[in-house]
Amino acid sequence: MRTTERYAVRKSTGRRVLPLHTAVRCPAAAVSLCLAAAFMLSCGTTAAQSTMDATTLPALQVGGEWQTGVYAAQTQGSWSGSVESMLRLKLRLGDYPWKLYADVGTTLGRVPGTDGDWTVTTELERAYLKIFLPWADLSLGKQQITWGVGYAWSPTDVFNPPNALGPDGLRPAVEAAVIRVPAGPLAYLSLVAARNERSSTQQGSGAAWQYGARYHANYGGTDWSLAAARDTGTTMVGVDAKGDLAVGDLALGWHAEVAHHAPHDGSSPWVEGVLGADRSWGGGKVVWAGEYFYNSRGAETQDSHTYTSWLAGDRTYPARHYVFTQLRYQHDEFTSVLGSVLANLVDRSAALTAGTTILLGNRWTLSLSATGLAGRPGAEFTGGAIPNASFSTPNVVLKARAAYNF
C-alpha cells in the first residue's frame, strides 16, 4: 500500500493505519487471529483466578485485551469491508520493577474505493518495556507518547498526534526512549528521543530522530506544561494548560494548547492552537465538549487548500480553522451513546459520527458507530480535491467492534 493511501485511509476513516511494508498475502496472519483467540481463552481463566492476588503474588502476571472489529465503507455507491483483530498483552513479574507491554494487530481488508486485492497484514503495534528506577521511570520500545491536553488536536505532540477523525483511538506508536524524572508529587520532566517514522518513508524530509522535553506541573489547581521538541526540520516550542472555570452557577472545564513551529530552512514559522471547553448536566449523564483548532499555515479559502504535505504523511491539516464537538449521553451504567462533528470551517465539509458503547458483562464490550462525510465536491472531507489519487474517500463508514478483557 502506498504512503498516500495509508494516511488517507486513516484520515478519512479513523481506522488504525495499515502497515506500510508488512503487508503479506498469506494465511499465516489469519492463523494469528486464531492464535490470538486461543491465547486469550487460555489466559482468561488464569487471570480471572488471580485477579485479587495481582499485587501480592510473585508470579508472572498476564493480562490484556483482544479486540476484533468489522468495518464497512461506502464509496461512490459500492461497499467494501475489512476485518481487524488485535491482541494486547501486559506482562509483569511479581514486584520486579518493570512491566512489558505488547500489542499485535492483524487486518484483513483492502483500501476503500479501490479494486485492489484483499490482503492480510500483521503488525506489532506496540512493544515496550517500562523500567522503574529509584530516581526516574524509563520506557523503551515502540510506544505512545502522549503530550498535550487537546483531544482532537494536540499541537505540542510532535511524536504521535491524535487523529481528529478518531480521537478515542490509540495513537500510532513510535519507537522511542522516554525518561520521566519526578520533580514533586504533581510535577515531572519528560525527555524523549523518538525515531521519526515519517522521515523513513519520505525521502529527504528531515532527521531520522526527534528529541523533546516537557515539564509538567500543577499551580493553583491548574495543570500546565511547557514543551520543546526538534522534529523533522522543525523546532517546536509550546505550552498547554487545563483547569476549571466557575462563574456563578456555571462550571466549565477548559483547556488550551499552543505550539510555535520554526522550520530550520528559514521559511516562515507557523502557529497551531487549540482552545477547548466541556460541561455536563444531569449529574454527568450528559456531557458536552468542544474544541476549536487554529492552524496559521492553513488555507483561508477552499481553492487554496493544499494536500501535498498531508498526503506525504505530514500531520498538517490543510485549512486554517476547524471545530470538533461531541455530546455523550450515559443511558445507564452499561450503555452510552454519543454524537460528534468534526468540521473544516473554511471549505464547510464535515465528518459526523454517531455511536454507542455497551458493556456486556465484566469482560466484553461492544462498540458500534457510523460516520458520514459531508461537504461540497472537492472539500476536505469529501476527498475530491486529492490529486492523482488511486482511491476515493468513503461517504459512509460503519464500524462494529467487540473487546474481551482478560
Partner 1 sequence: MMVGTGIRTKIGLRMAMALLVALAIGSTELSGAGAAVEAADLTAEEIVARMDANAYMASAHLVAKLVIRAGSREITKQMEGWVVGNQKAMVTFLNPGDRGTKYLKLGDELWMFFPDAEDLVKISGHMLKQGMMGSDFSYQDALESEKMGELYEFKLAGVETYDGARCYVLEATALPGKQVSYPKRKIWVDCEKFVARREELYAASGKLLKVSRVEEVKEKGGRTYASRVVMEDKLKRGSSTTLIIEQVEFDVKIPDDVFSLRNLMR
For residue 213, state whether it binds partner 1 (rule: CB under 8 A). no
Among 10, 88, 214, 230, interactor with partner 1 by CB under 8 A: 88
For residue 65, state whether it binds partner 1 (rule: CB under 8 A). yes
Size of the site for partner 1 (CB under 8 A): 69
Query: Site mask, partner 1, residues 45-64, x = CB under 8 A?
Result: --xx--xx-xx-------x-
Query: Site mask, partner 1, residues 91-130, x = CB under 8 A?
Result: --------x------------------------------x
Among 19, 23, 83, 168, interactor with partner 1 by CB under 8 A: 168
Q: Is 43 exposed, middle or buried (0-12, 13-18, 19+ CB in 10 A)?
A: middle
Q: Is 381 exposed, middle or buried (0-12, 13-18, 19+ CB in 10 A)?
A: buried
Q: For residue 166, what is its C-alpha cell?
A: 478518531
Smallest gap, in angstroms, from Cβ of residue 224 to partner 1?
Answer: 10
Q: Whole-angstrom Cα distance, residue 168 to residue 162? A: 9
For residue 405, state whether it binds partner 1 (rule: CB under 8 A). yes
Neighbours of 69 (CB within 10 A): 18
Q: Is 91 exposed, middle or buried (0-12, 13-18, 19+ CB in 10 A)?
A: middle
Among 151, 307, 317, 381, interactor with partner 1 by CB under 8 A: 151
Contact 260, 271 (CB under 8 A): yes
Smallest gap, in angstroms, from Cβ of residue 223 to partner 1?
Answer: 5
Q: Is 224 exposed, middle or buried (0-12, 13-18, 19+ CB in 10 A)?
A: middle
Residue 39: phi and psi, rounded to 5, are -65, -40
Interacting residue ranges for partner 1, rule: CB under 8 A: 44, 47-48, 51-52, 54-55, 63, 65, 88, 90, 99, 130, 132, 137, 143-146, 151, 167-168, 170-171, 180, 182, 184-188, 216, 218, 221, 223, 242-244, 246, 251-253, 255, 276-280, 283-284, 287-289, 326, 328, 330, 332-334, 336, 338, 357, 359, 361-363, 365, 405-406
